[in-house]
Structure 1
Amino acid sequence: MTDNNNTTPPTDHTPSAVPPRGTLARWKLIGPGIVVAVTGVGAGDLVATLIAGSRFGYALLWAAVVGCIVKIALAEGSARYHLATGSTMLEGWRSLGIWTYWYFGIYIVIWGFVYGGTAMSATALPLSALFPDLLPFWVWGALSGIAGAVFILLNRYAMFELVMKIFIGIMFVVVVGLAILVVPNVGDALTGLVPTIPEGSAIYTLGLIGGVGGTITMAAYGYWVNAKGWNTPAWMGVMRLDNRVAYIATGIFVISMLVVGAELLYTAQIALSDGDRGLLDLDDVLRDRFGPIVSTIFLIGFAATTFSSILGVWHGVSLLFADFVRQVVGGSKDRSNLETTKAFRFYVLWLTFPPMLLLALGRPFALVVAYGAFGAFFMPFLALTLIWLLNSKRVPAEWRSGWLSNLLLGLAAALFVVLCLSELARFI
């Protein structure tokens, strides 16, 4: 049975029992959404939007905007379940049947192994470019994973959130600065907000909508909201403000990279490599066009993007795993200190050390494809179970999904099912 009462044990980070009334005071509390935005926007997301701009100009700008709206609905649904019920997403899934635990348990273990290698490899790319010949590629990857693990294990949510805010500041300056530097064509950009699907871009358009702004970290958002001290429905308005700010920031990043692709690459018909290495191709273009200073600043932003994703996943997905173990093994009702559990520490180390074996393989193409196919399995699960949970009696009537939430979650579910099938076909 799940603990579906409307109270949650207080956390060390609880600022007060009731949120402040003033607008400025509420804006000062924004944090979990920033964590989601920084974690969700990885190198792969930047490359996807960059390539969209390089291939289709501004034509798919609307798809990037729609993608952010879809992710707002998913993250809001996850956090709303936490605040409205006093339960966690794992408790909600458990109430749907034991099949959800088999699905999630197997998924999170395999996903963590594959993602760990992918994330460390992505972070090694800009570090190797910034400091050529200093250390082997695999050493940079291993050091980035170890640094992330040490930071997460030695700190709690408050310090973690502060550091993630610093990273989003670096990313904002670099990514938005690049978009300004290439001088966007405002007229063409506004035209790109009108939905069109250029020839040969259908699946690519769906991928752009569904792939930007996080996957499994959508489910972690509710845990970060609780870690912030927001534990009751009284915090619903603050959470929604926080979530919207997060995906407005995500939208700014996505649009900025699409502008860079459209202005710097599309007009010159410059092609990029798929995957994270596409950002190294962009670095070469920036070096030729603007010089070594801009190139170095870009690589710093690239490193901030990839390492912040390490920190976010090492913390957020470890919380999910700790809650999973709490219920499967112990059944404890205390979920206020998941960061201190053995399961949390185990999963941080699981993300760090076993995947180092993959670094020795140099992330072959098969690994990249397998990660894409495997990653596609989670989002349909999240979208469909959120629809189920948020329209059930588990949630008080006033906090159940309305027509707009159901519409967006239904759109997300259909989109991710199509993308999942597409990735499976690609893998096979």
Structure 2
Amino acid sequence: MDSKNQSLFARIWLWMLSIGPGIFCIGYTVGTGSVTSMAKAGSQFGMELLWVLVLSCVFSWALMEAYGRYAIVTGNTSIYSFRTRLRGGNLIATLVVVGIVIAQWNSLSGILGLSANAIYEVAVLFFPDLPAQNYWAVLGIAVFLIVAMYGFLWVGKYSFFEKVLVVFVTLMGISFLISMFVVLPDPVAIVRGLKPSIPEVPGGKLLVAAFVGTTMAAPTFVVRPLLMKGKGWDERHTKEQSKDALLSASLMLVINLAIMAAAAGSLFVEGKTIEKVMDMVYTLEPIAGKFAVAIFMTGALSAGLSSIFPILMVAPLLVADYKEGVLDTASTRFRVLTGVACLVGLTVPILGANPILAQILTQVAAVFILPLVIACMLYLINRKDLMQAHRAGVWLNTGLIAALIFSLVISFTAYLALSEMIL
């Protein structure tokens, strides 16, 4: 490879690393939860729910900007600030930590189940003599994945975690974009999907809530200040923080849109819906052959691995934030809590549960903590004694208030969806 090409790749690599904490935000939000929610919605409703995705990404941008600006100006992290700056702060901080950890650990179990099942299904595709289902093989794959990811965490350096996620997120984005262009849906359908509507069919409300749960993910905003502190960002990095928030939200929109569009273009037009991840690959296969399998599965597995990594870290990050507001990835507490998360993550593979349904339900559960997370920052970023001249202006406040109203509506929608399932 000549020096010119090496220079180009070096620039691309440095640019990806410059995204900084945004890489972790993408890891929390664009995982197999997004793959399943976006692909299932695209296969069942075409581009009808595109409006939910767009609003979620816009509000995510506003929230990342707010949390990032607060951290840059005050030097304080989220949970620590909730505990020390709010009336009833101990209770609020505890509710946020417990709510996020439970939702993320449940999500981890679904993600691990999906990734293990997807790998085995690819093996069946290339080796037809294997049984269609093999509980022990899937469980073995899940154990291998979680042990490997836990091993990475023992390296204990933020910069290393960031580089691993850069690789996963890059592979994921490229793979899903290629998949979308293989079976691009009708542009008119894409434009029509920007009109707000909720499908009046069984599962419609559930998917809307899952959309928001996987895109406006609470840990995306709450953990971001701690990650910025770990990267060494301070008030001198105001522009970098804003760029990071915008770029992260934009990549979330593009990648999720690509997944939904690929499913709408390949499955919705055929009248088929997704019950497992490989359903989408099988539909792409007649168009692009085994190449489609390789492309989509690279994206799906990268999505899974890019989510497992930061989710394993969420509990020790939030506990550290609650106690002292300092990122420490080499402590005994960090390694014990990530180890517990690994064990919880094996729940779905051990039970042999349907990982698609498990993933969607955990994404729905995540929306209930979201209004509290938004309301706390809306208050803090408007305190003059903390923010001085950097208080939220008209546009940011408008975005945060709209995000709060949206989150309350979606939480109610999730309640209705879960009530319908129970009844």
TM-score by length of 1: 0.82
Would you say the 8 A contact 1:37–1:213 is kept in 2? no
In structure 2, the residue matched to 1:139 is 140
Q: Could you tell me which of 310, 318, 321 is aligned with 1:320?
A: 318
**1:186 deviation in Å?**
3.4
Q: Could you tell me which of 234, 255, 265 is aligned with 1:253?
A: 255
In structure 2, the residue matched to 1:17 is none
CA distance in 2, matches of 1:424, 1:61: 22
CA distance in 2, matches of 1:228, 1:114: 28
Would you say the 8 A contact 2:210–2:363 is kept in 1? no
**1:178 deviation in Å?**
0.8
- Deviation string, structure 1 residues 267-322 (Cα, Å, up to 9, x no partner): 2211222xxx2x22112212244322211221122111101100122234431222
Partner secondary structure for residue 376 of structure 1? helix
Higher alpha-carbon deviation: 76-85 or 45-54: 45-54
Which letter does structure 1 place at the counterpart of 2:73?
A
Q: Could you tell me which of 220, 236, 239 is aligned with 2:238?
A: 236
Q: Alpha carbons of 1:181 and 1:369: their partners in 2 closer, same or farther (altered >3 Å)? A: closer
- Deviation string, structure 1 residues 207-239 (Cα, Å, up to 9, x no partner): 535542533232112222222221x22211111
Would you say the 8 A contact 2:79–2:318 is kept in 1? yes
Q: Could you tell me which of 331, 341, 345 is aligned with 1:341?
A: 331
Corresponding pairs, count: 391
Alignment of 1:165-176 (within 5 A): 165-176=166-177
**1:131 deviation in Å?**
3.0
Alignment of 1:8-407 (within 5 A): 29-95=18-84, 96=86, 97-108=89-100, 110-111=102-103, 113-132=105-124, 136-193=137-194, 195-197=195-197, 199-200=199-200, 203=205, 204-205=207-208, 207-209=210-212, 211-212=214-215, 214-230=217-233, 232-273=234-275, 277=276, 279-324=277-322, 327=323, 332=324, 335=326, 337-363=327-353, 371-393=362-384, 395-407=386-398
Which letter does structure 2 place at the counterpart of 1:228?
K
Would you say the 8 A contact 1:35–1:165 is kept in 2? no
CA distance in 2, matches of 1:354, 1:268: 38
Would you say the 8 A contact 1:217–1:317 is kept in 2? no
CA distance in 2, matches of 1:354, 1:60: 32
Structure 2: segments with no counterpart, 5+ residues: 1-13, 125-129
- Deviation string, structure 1 residues 222-269 (Cα, Å, up to 9, x no partner): 222222221x22211111101111111111112212221222122221
Partner secondary structure for residue 218 of structure 2? coil
CA distance in 2, matches of 1:60, 1:106: 30
Would you say the 8 A contact 1:93–1:101 is kept in 2? yes
**1:351 deviation in Å?**
0.8
Q: Alpha carbons of 1:94 and 1:281: their partners in 2 closer, same or farther (altered >3 Å)? A: same
CA distance in 1, matches of 2:20, 2:181: 27
Query: Identity of aligned pairs, percent?
Result: 21
- Deviation string, structure 1 residues 79-135 (Cα, Å, up to 9, x no partner): 222111111101111021221133134335534542332232122122212334596
Would you say the 8 A contact 2:210–2:361 is kept in 1? no
- Deviation string, structure 1 residues 354-399 (Cα, Å, up to 9, x no partner): 4434432123588557634532232122111111211224522222
In structure 2, the residue matched to 1:5 is none
Alignment pair present for 1:423 and 2:423: no
Partner secondary structure for residue 273 of structure 2? coil
CA distance in 2, matches of 1:390, 1:42: 29
CA distance in 1, matches of 2:280, 2:190: 21
Whichever structure has more helix as a proportion of its residues is 2
CA distance in 1, matches of 2:223, 2:407: 18
CA distance in 2, matches of 1:72, 1:94: 24
CA distance in 2, matches of 1:208, 1:127: 24
In structure 1, the residue matched to 2:7 is none
Structure 1: segments with no counterpart, 5+ residues: 1-24
Would you say the 8 A contact 2:168–2:303 is kept in 1? yes
| Cα RMSD, aligned residues only | 2.8
Q: Alpha carbons of 1:27 and 1:43: their partners in 2 closer, same or farther (altered >3 Å)? A: closer
Which letter does structure 2 place at the counterpart of 1:39?
Y
